Amino acid sequence: MPPAASAHYRIERKTPASYAAAGAACVLVAVLAAIPGFAGRNVVEELIFVYYMLALAQCWNLLAGYAGLVSIGQQAFVGLGGYLLFALTIIAGLDPLVAILLCGLIAAAFALPTALVVFRLRGAYFAIGTWVVAEVYRLGFAQFKRLGGGTGTSLGPEITNQVFGIEWIKSLFDVRTPAARDIISYWVALALAAATLVLVYLILRSRRGLALGAIRDSEDAAESVGVDYFRVKLGIYVITAVATGMIGALIYLQNARISPDAAFSVLNWTAYVIFIVVIGGIGTIEGPIVGTLVFYLMQRYLASFGAWYLIVLGALAIAVMLFAPKGLWGYAAGRYGLALFPIRRRLLVKNQD
């Protein structure tokens, strides 16, 4: 029976499963935050790596998987963040944690003019264009003598040991300075990874998320129903640059040594990230999580095989693209109807009597 003309309609998004997932996620983050209390330093260091790769993967997935901006130049913002951190701490004398926040803001200021250049290109040309821009950034930062020029420079202990809160952590966990430094980096990395994930989720649930889904399916049709796709894409590009810049700053605070070739490495900061997103499942929030775990395990157990490690990595990526094009998570989600992050909107009808 069709509903009466006076029927009331509303949107439903949450499901009991999503409440449970949200609760579980909070517990998980709390547990992860407590890990430095009982795990060794090597575990903490490895998890820092997992967190920042996850955060980078979430960013690239938002950019490529949702906004259709297949960039292979995100190393531009990792390197930018890293170099800005060095500049702000060594030259401007700021606290590294303050510097990380500033790196995000400054990355946005760089991303806007960069976008105006690369957004003139489409598809494959966009991808190559972003790479070229990243090379320009690399060559640009190699000119700064105060930051070591082409060979790079290090953060002295006078900076890394003065991070805000380090004395408190030393007494809380009863550890030496280097371990306390790791713990701070660990918490910042965990916070960045969690924040990036929440950010992506909130964007997808917003009006902008609706626009992104429409653009992904048909750019023309999206425009014809009032979506300003240039603005939506520009917004996503800048937001991703902010997050990527902050992650880059954290990575190089943890490394304490930077050089143009490493900071703007397409292999480390984009190729591996694409691998993670593709095998995990592009265009899903869960995919990058799965991908990061797979990547971490392979890195841990295969890295000692040298070139074979990269060959296995590439072969796995090809196999996934051939047999499960939606990635491991996409394959599982399609088969078992899983969704930890519900972004679908359902229409509910209530007939008024």
Partner 1 sequence: MSLLEIHGLRKCFGSVVAADDIAFIVAAGEALGIIGPNGAGKTTLFNLIAGGLFPDAGTIRLDGHDITAARPHQRCRAGIARSYQIPRPFENFTVFENLLVAAVHGGRKSEADAAQLCGEILNRCRLLPRANALAGSLTLLERKRLEMARALATAPRLLLLDEIAGGLTESECAELVGTIKELRATGVTIVWIEHIVHALVAVVDRLIVLNFGRKIADGNPQAVMSSADVQQIYIGIEA
Report the residue number, 232 or 274, with the smaller CB distance to partner 1. 232
Site membership for partner 1, residue 7 (CB under 8 A): yes
Query: What is the Cα–Cα distance from 78 to 4, expressed in whole angstroms?
Result: 56
Site membership for partner 1, residue 347 (CB under 8 A): yes
Site membership for partner 1, residue 10 (CB under 8 A): yes
Count of residues near partner 1 by CB under 8 A: 31
Report the residue number, 173 or 229, with the smaller CB distance to partner 1. 229
Q: How far is the CB of 88 from partner 1 (least distance, A)?
A: 39
Place of tokens 């425009």: 223
Q: Which residues pair with 59 in a beta bridge?
A: none
Site membership for partner 1, residue 337 (CB under 8 A): no
Stretch that binds partner 1, among 2-10, 36-44, 64-72, 239-247 (CB under 8 A): 2-10
Query: What is the Cα–Cα distance from 288 to 60, expressed in whole angstroms?
Result: 9
Q: How far is the CB of 188 from partner 1 (least distance, A)?
A: 34
Lay out the site mask for partner 1 across 217-256 (x = CB under 8 A, - = otherwise): xx-xxxxxxxxxx---------------------------
**DSSP structure string for 245-311:** HHHHHHHHHHH-EE-HHHHT-HIIIIIHHHHHHHHH-TT-SHHHHHHHHHHHHHHHHHGGGTHHHHH
Q: How far is the CB of 16 from partner 1 (least distance, A)?
A: 17
Q: C-alpha angle 203/208/214, rounded to 5°?
A: 115
**DSSP structure string for 89-142:** IIIS---HHHHHHHHHHHHHHHHHHHHHHHTTS-HHHHHHHHHHHHHHHHHHHT
Site membership for partner 1, residue 17 (CB under 8 A): no
Site membership for partner 1, residue 156 (CB under 8 A): no
Query: What is the Cα–Cα distance from 199 to 193, expressed in whole angstroms?
Result: 10
Report the residue number, 30 or 225, with the smaller CB distance to partner 1. 225
Report the residue number, 146 or 350, with the smaller CB distance to partner 1. 350
Stretch that binds partner 1, among 9-17, 110-118, 192-200, 236-244 (CB under 8 A): 9-17
- Are residues 275 and 295 in contact, defined by beta-carbon separation less than 8 angstroms? yes
